[in-house]
């Protein structure tokens, strides 16, 4: 492990993705190639590419290079939640936290089970098998397998760097491997502090399932609208409907338009993530085109809608902010 941390150096990894990664790095560092005000789909694509780049960096076998490149993804004014019991940490705390992760845990491959993106927001569920060669979480060992897993939400700034991050690492699972039953108990205590205030992961997943149930009340259209809209706070902020943030009424009008054109639309959630009162859903919906929608005349044929949604619940358990990434209608 290096005796002291030096500012991250910028590397371009020699992989088949190197050209893509270089392009992303140029954008993130304020190059003239960057679009200062990308449209929403372009912003979503840029965020997804950044998330994929992050996975590639974490898979680099050179620990120092991986560490340096990883820290370069974060804004110098980062606020990272879920790493320290004292609260949000800055870039200095982030560097300190990741030193043992990169230099004491060896031969790991990060695997993103899910990545959900909407605009400048992203959510990830991951797992990774590594081998402890040194000291980690107060345990010294050689070649001891350690399996990590968790969920994290990200907000990227205009330079495509991570400005805020909310993490729910599975502390009970990790510490149980390293320290047995005593470690698992310690992990539960830590998780109660580090995994955020507000709604728990199960609470959010329950809300997401109830929202899908309400959305799918095809047989009672009026009740569907009432029940679905009850999940939202009156002061709701909506990203992704128009160039500027919208509100509750604009979301209602958008949904009524969709439900009118495709009255038998049923949604299936393909993935759900949750951490720190955030929820994320990748979904698809199937219905039939029965009334005019925008510039499209009804066809009475099946249509499929796909999209990704990230949302945040307030202290009353209602959604106060939502980010939409809706695909085209097939």
pLDDT tens-place string over residues 174-206: 999 999 999 999 999 999 999 888 999 999 999
Question: Distance (Å, rounded) from C-alpha 31 to C-alpha 160?
Answer: 12
Does the structure show a pLDDT above 90 at 13? no
Helix-helix angle 221-229:248-261, to 10 degrees: 150
pLDDT tens digits for range 66-97: 999 999 999 999 999 999 999 999 999 999 99
Instruction: Give domain 18-194's CATH architecture.
Output: Roll (3.10)
CA-only gyration radius of the chain, Å: 22
18-194 and 201-326 share one fold: yes
DSSP run (H or E) holding 286: strand 278-288
Lowest mean pLDDT among 1-10, 49-58, 127-136, 139-148: 1-10
What pTM value is reported for the model?
0.87
Lowest mean pLDDT among 2-11, 34-43, 106-115: 2-11
Task: Give the per-residue pLDDT at 311.
Answer: 98
The candidate with the shortest Cα–Cα distance to 103, out of 204, 244, 3, is: 3
Task: Give the per-residue pLDDT at 11.
Answer: 37
> DSSP character for 7?
P
**At the top level of CATH, which class does the domain 201-326 belong to?**
alpha beta
3-state secondary structure of 97: helix
pLDDT tens digits for range 224-277: 999 999 999 999 999 999 889 999 999 999 999 999 999 999 999 999 999 999
Do strands 87-89 and 74-84 pair parallel, antiparallel, or not at all (unpaired)? antiparallel
More confident residue, 20 or 199: 199
Question: Distance (Å, rounded) from C-alpha 311 to C-alpha 158?
Answer: 20
User: What is the pLDDT confidence band of residue 328, given thresholds at 50, 70 and 90?
Assistant: confident
Does the structure show a pLDDT above 80 at 34? no
Domain boundaries, the chain: 18-194, 201-326
Task: Give the per-residue pLDDT at 37.
Answer: 57
> DSSP character for 58?
H
Question: Distance (Å, rounded) from C-alpha 124 to C-alpha 145?
Answer: 23
């Amino acid at each position: 492990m290096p005796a002291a941390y030096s500012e991250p150096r910028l590397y371009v990894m020699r992989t088949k993705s190197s050209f893509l990664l270089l392009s992303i790095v140029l954008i993130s560092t304020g190059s003239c190639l960057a679009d200062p005000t990308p449209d929403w789909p372009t912003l979503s694509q840029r965020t997804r590419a950044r998330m994929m780049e992050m996975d590639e960096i974490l898979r680099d076998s050179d620990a120092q290079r991986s560490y340096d490149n990883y820290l370069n993804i974060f804004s110098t004014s980062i606020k990272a939640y879920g790493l320290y019991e004292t609260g949000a940490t800055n870039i200095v705390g982030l560097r300190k936290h990741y030193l043992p992760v990169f230099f004491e845990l060896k031969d790991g491959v990060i695997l993103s089970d899910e990545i959900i993106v909407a605009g400048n927001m992203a959510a990830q569920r991951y797992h990774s098998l590594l081998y402890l060669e040194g000291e980690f979480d107060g345990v010294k060992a050689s070649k001891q397998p350690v399996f990590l897993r968790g969920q994290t939400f990200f907000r990227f700034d205009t330079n495509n760097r991570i400005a805020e991050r909310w993490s729910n690492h599975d502390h009970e699972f990790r510490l149980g491997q390293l320290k047995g039953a005593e470690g698992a108990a310690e992990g539960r205590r830590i998780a109660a502090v580090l995994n955020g205030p507000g709604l728990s992961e199960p609470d959010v997943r329950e809300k997401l399932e109830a929202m899908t149930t309400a959305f799918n009340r095809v047989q009672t259209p009026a009740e569907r609208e009432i029940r679905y809209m009850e999940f939202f706070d009156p002061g709701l902020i909506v990203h992704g409907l128009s160039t500027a943030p919208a509100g509750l009424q604009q979301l209602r009008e958008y949904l009524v338009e969709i439900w009118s054109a495709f009255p038998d639309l049923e949604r299936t959630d393909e993935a759900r993530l949750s951490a720190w009162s955030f929820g994320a859903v990748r979904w698809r919906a199937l219905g039939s085109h029965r009334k005019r929608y925008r510039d499209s005349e009804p066809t009475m044929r099946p249509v499929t809608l796909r999209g990704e949604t990230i949302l945040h619940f307030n202290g009353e358990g209602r959604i106060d902010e939502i980010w939409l990434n809706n695909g085209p209608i097939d």
